Amino acid sequence: MADFSATHVKSSNVVGHLLALVSNGSVKPKLFEIVIGTSITPTDNAGEYRIIRTNASSTGPQTVTEVSLDPDGTAIRVVAEGGTMTTDATETGGALLVIPLNMRATFRWVTNTKFIQGVNTADNGLALDVVAQSSAFLTHATMMWEE
């Protein structure tokens, strides 16, 4: 089960990171759950998203508040970043998960037994990328993880 959560809302159709989990070099994020949706009714607009490993710091991130799901739990060591950020280089292998989505639906992915893992190197991590959106609408994204 996930220990931490971060949510970000993006209001444009610019390609790039929507939400990223960045390692501090002492721990690697283990992605447990992703939720993508919108708070409006965007008719038949579509989006394509992907989970990638990143190996460089983002340019232009906005601060996102990380939340411990257990108020008595351990301190959060992975930093969450949100916004319309430039896409970092990806590790060899490309996309770890591709999510084509009609935005009339909310998408939820939950791991069964294995996590999608980042690497244990400073400024490396996992990112939920916007590959394409058919128009500008509010996209809500939540990532839940363990460290």
pLDDT digits (tens, 9 = 90+) for 68-122: 999 888 888 888 888 766 655 566 568 889 999 887 778 899 988 788 888 778 7
Q: How far apart are CA 68 and CA 100, in angstroms?
A: 29
82-110 b/e with 16+ CB inside 10 Å = b? bbbbebbebeeeeebeebebebeeebeee
Comparing CA positions, the residue from 20, 23, 25 lying closest to residue 50 is: 20
What pTM value is reported for the model? 0.85
Q: What is the CA radius of gyration of the chain?
A: 14
User: What's the pLDDT score for residue 6?
Assistant: 93
Burial grade of 143 (CB within 10 A; 0-12, 13-18, 19 or more): buried
Domain boundaries along the sequence of the chain: 4-146
Domain 4-146 in CATH 1.10.540? The answer is no
Q: Which residues contact 92 (CB under 8 A, 6 or more apart)?
A: none
Encode pLDDT of 128-140 as tens digits: 988 888 887 788 8
User: What's the pLDDT score for residue 7?
Assistant: 92
Higher pLDDT, 53 or 13: 53
Encode pLDDT of 17-69 as tens digits: 889 888 888 888 899 999 998 877 667 788 899 998 887 666 667 888 899 99
DSSP state of 60: S
CA 53, 100, 138, 33: dihedral to nearest 10 degrees? -50
Give the confidence band of 5 by pLDDT, cuts at 50, 70, 90. Answer: very high
